[in-house]
Structure 1
Amino acid sequence: MFESDSHHNCAKRKYPWFRENIHKSNSYAPGWRFTAKRPKFELYQENVSLDIDTKRAVLESASSVVALLSYTGDQELTQCSGVIIENDATNGHIVLTSARLIRRPTQQNFEENFNFEDDPDENALENHLANNLKVMIYMYDGGSYEGHVCAYDFHYNIAWIRFESNSSIPTVRLRLVDDYINVNPDEEKSVYLRPHSTHFKLVPGGAIVGVGRYFCKPFDLMAAPGEFIMKRRVNEFGCNELLVGTHLMSQCGEGGPLINLSGEVIGLSFYDTGFTPFLPINIAQKCWEHYKRYGELRRPFLGFVATNLWAVDISHIERVISKIPNICNGVLVEKVIEGSSFDSPGLLENDVIVQCGGSTVHSFMEFFEMLWDKKVGDVLQLGVVRGCENELIHVNMVCNEVVQNFYRWPRTGSL
C-alpha cells in the first residue's frame, strides 16, 4: 500500500523538486520539522552492507563531504548534503550543493508554516533566495560554520556556499565525465580515444556511489552504491543534461556528491523516488569557472532540445545508421526552439549533429562543452546527418547566451 501510494503521489506532482517525505510522523503539531525522524541512507537495504571497494572510495572523499541546514529567519527550510570543491589562502572554502537549500517558499506557504515535503504545488518554491536566509554547515568532526551564498544557478538547481575556518579543510577531487557510448554494432570494435583525456568514462552498469552526511549528531557519513544506467528523466524534469543512477538515497542526501570507485566526484545527486538523477560535474564546473571569470553565471543558449543518440528510440537509431553506416554516435536534435539561432540556419528536428567547428562530436556532454567555450556572436559550423540526405550537411549558427529558462527544472510554465 505504501509503495503504491508513493508512486501515485510521485506521478501526479507537477513541481519536479517536490520530494515527498515518506517517513513523516503525524504525532507532532503542524509546523514541526520532524528532524529526528528523517531517515538515513540505511533506509534502503542496499546501503547497509557495503563492499570494501565502496568503503574505500567513500572514505577517500569523506573529509570533504558536509551536511547543510538552511533557515528563513528562525524557521528551518530544509537539509542537504554537499562537498567542498575549493579553498584559498585565507581558509575560505566553497561547498557545492543543491539550490533547493536556498530557494524561497511562496508567501502563502510560508505563512502556513511551510513544509517543503508536505506541499506538492509547483509554486511551493520560487526561483529566488529565501528571505532572511541562514545556512549552517556541519563537518565530519562535528564542527559547524555559518555559510554565505556565493553563487547559485536555479537553471541547473545548484549552489555554491562559502564559509571560513581556522584551518584548511581538504577538498575533493573532481573528474569530468565522458558520456560517449557506441550504439553501432558494426563499429563495436572501434576504440574511442580522447587524446590525453582526464575524463571518467561512464559505462552502463558501471559502479557509482552517492555520498551524503547526516545533519544531526554525530553527523554520520552515508553511502548509496549503485550503477549508471541508460535511462532518461527528461519527461519529468525537462533537462537532458541529467543522467541517472540506481543508487537510492534519503532526502538529506540531496546535493551530495556522486563518486566513482576512485573516490573522485563525477556528479551531483538529486533526491527522487526510484532511480536517482544526477548532474554531471562537467556542468557545475563550467558554471563555477565562468562565475570566477565574469563575476556572474553565464552559459550558452541551447536553442534546441537534444540528447545522445544512444538515448533515443531504437527505430530512429536504425534509420540514422542506414544512412550513415559508420556512425557510432552523435547528438540528436529532438526539437528546435522557434526564433533561436539554431532555428534560423535551418537545423531540423531529428537531425544528428556529428561535427562542431570541424571537430567530431561523439556525445551530448562533449558538444555542450564545445559550445560553452565559445563567445557570444561566434559563428560555429555544425556537421549534420539528416535522414532525407545521403551526405553531411553543414549548418552555421551564432552562439548566444541564455536569457531565460528553456527546458530546465523546475518548470515554471509552458515550454
Structure 2
Amino acid sequence: MTSVQDPDLDWILQIEECKHVGGSRIKVQGPSKVVALKVSPSVVCLLSHTGKDKLFACSGTIVECGGKESDGTFVGIILTSASLLRCPSGAASLAPDIKVDVLLPDGKLLQGEVFAYDFHYNLSVIKIRSDTPFPTPSLRNLDESIPVTLQPALNSTSPRHSDSFKIRPGDKVKALGRHYHSHSLVIASGSFTIGLCEFDCQELMMSTCKMGSQIHIGGPLINCAGEVIGINFYHERYTPFLPINIAYRCLEHLKIQRSVNRPWLGMELTNFYAVNLADMEKIVQKFPHISEGVVVEKVVKGSPAEVAGILPCDVIVSCGGHSVRCSSEFFGITWDKTRESVPVVVMRASCGNRQMLTIDVEDTSEHRYNRWPIPSTYLDMFWRSAEK
C-alpha cells in the first residue's frame, strides 16, 4: 500500500481549475490529482450495443490481470455495473445480441467479453485481452466501525482487521470515471457519509460525491491513498457505492461459479453509532457496556428476521459465533451462511435482556432483487452530450 504523508494536509493543498466534460469548470486539488493518477491507468470506459443500437456507457476498473496465456496475450478482468448489460426494458435479464466495447486510457479500443454478471448486486465482469499486461490498482476493504466508548477500555489489544481501511464520516473520497468520447478521466470529489440510502441494496454505503455524468457508474471510489474502496452507482444527490469488501467477494464467486450468494433476512440495519441520540440513550441506559454493533431499524412481516423473533431497535452484537462491530461485518458473515441457520445474539433495550436467537439466511428470490433506477431522461442527456 502506498501511504500519504499527511492525509489531512493532502486534501487541502493548492486548488487549480481544470477542464471538465461539457466545458464546465470544476475545482480539482493538486495532490488529489496525483492520488487519482495512481488509479487512472486501470480506469476504462465501456459501451454496450444491442444490434445496431447503443445501450449503455459507463466506467469500470481493471482489477486483475493474469499471466501470459498460451497465445501470448494477457487477460484483464474488469469489474463494472451490470446496467451495462441490462435489457432495455429494465428487466433483470441480459440484453439480446449484446456487444461490449472497452476504451482504454490511451484511446485504444478492445472488444470485451461478457464473462459473468449479477443483477441483484448490479455487477458485471468483462474480460479483455492484449499483447501487454494491464495495470491494476490497489484494493482495500472498508472498516466503517466506530466504537461509542463511554469509559476507557480495561485492556489494550492490537487493532483487528489491519488489512482494512478505517473510514469515518467526513473522510475525503473521489469517484472516478472515464468519458467514452474524449477518453479523459473524470473526477467527482466528496466525503464518506452516513444517512438513508434510497436504494434497495442494504450493503450500499454513501459518499457526497455528486456526479456530473452517468459515466461514473461502475467506476472506482478511491480513498486519499489512491486505493479502490468501492464501486460507484448513480443518484442525483449523492453517490451510492458498493464496498470493495462485497464487490470483490462477488467477483470471486462469479469467476468460480458464475453466480453469487444473495442473503435475504428481511430487515433494515444501521450501525450503532449512526442511530439517533434518543434511541442510543435508551440502549446505553440498559447496556452501558455496548460500544458497537448493528441496530435493527425495520423488520419485514413474514421474513426470516421476524420468524427468528428479531424486533426493531434490537442491537445485534454477535452472528454465527463472531462479534459484530458494523454492518459490513454482519453482511459478510451472513453472505457466507446463505441457505443456513445462524445463531445471533441481540441486546433488547425494551426489556433489558440479552436474547440468543437463530435466523435462517434465505437466498433472495428474483422478485426481491435490488432495483437500480437510472432516470431515462438522464441517459438521453448523456448520449446527446457525448455525440457533440
Q: TM-score, normalised by structure 2?
A: 0.83
The answer on whether the counterparts of 1:376 and 1:400 sit within 8 Å (CA) in structure 2 is yes
Cα distance in 2, alignment partners of residues 97 and 192 from structure 1? 38
CA deviations 1:158-191 (Å, max 9, x no partner) are 2111121222101121111011123455569998
Q: What is the aligned counterpart of 1:359 among 295, 310, 322?
A: 322
- The answer to whether structure 1 residue 295 and structure 2 residue 252 are counterparts is no
What letter matches 2:235 in structure 1? D
CA deviations 1:343-387 (Å, max 9, x no partner) are 32312222110111332211000111112223633x322110112
1:80 corresponding residue in structure 2: 58
2:352 corresponding residue in structure 1: 390
What letter matches 1:137 in structure 2? V
- The answer to whether structure 1 residue 132 and structure 2 residue 110 are counterparts is no
Q: What is the aligned counterpart of 1:374 among 337, 340, 346?
A: 337
What letter matches 1:212 in structure 2? G
Equivalent residue pairs, number: 348
2:366 corresponding residue in structure 1: 404
2:29 corresponding residue in structure 1: 50
Q: What is the aligned counterpart of 2:191 among 227, 233, 251?
A: 227
What letter matches 1:223 in structure 2? I
Change (3 A) 1:336 1:74: same
Cα distance in 1, alignment partners of residues 152 and 366 from structure 2? 40
2:308 corresponding residue in structure 1: 345
Secondary structure of the structure 1 residue equivalent to 2:304 = coil
Secondary structure of the structure 1 residue equivalent to 2:29 = coil
CA RMSD of aligned residues (A): 2.4
Cα distance in 1, alignment partners of residues 194 and 210 from structure 2? 16
1:93-242 map, 5 Å = 93-106=76-89, 125-186=90-151, 194-195=159-160, 197-217=162-182, 219-233=183-197, 236-242=198-204
Secondary structure of the structure 1 residue equivalent to 2:206 = strand
Greater share of residues in strand: 2
Structure with larger RCO (C-alpha < 8 A, sep 6+) = 1
Change (3 A) 1:192 1:150: farther
Q: TM-score, normalised by structure 1?
A: 0.78
Shift, 1:312, TM fit:
3.0
Q: What is the aligned counterpart of 2:75 among 75, 92, 97?
A: 92
2:380 corresponding residue in structure 1: none
Shift, 1:104, TM fit:
1.1
Cα distance in 2, alignment partners of residues 173 and 64 from structure 1? 10
Structure 2, unmatched stretches of 5+, are: 1-19, 374-388
Q: What is the aligned counterpart of 1:316 among 279, 288, 293?
A: 279
Cα distance in 1, alignment partners of residues 23 and 291 from structure 2? 40
The answer on whether the counterparts of 1:41 and 1:222 sit within 8 Å (CA) in structure 2 is no
The answer on whether the counterparts of 2:119 and 2:369 sit within 8 Å (CA) in structure 1 is no
The answer on whether the counterparts of 1:232 and 1:243 sit within 8 Å (CA) in structure 2 is no
The answer on whether the counterparts of 2:117 and 2:254 sit within 8 Å (CA) in structure 1 is no
The answer on whether the counterparts of 1:41 and 1:224 sit within 8 Å (CA) in structure 2 is no
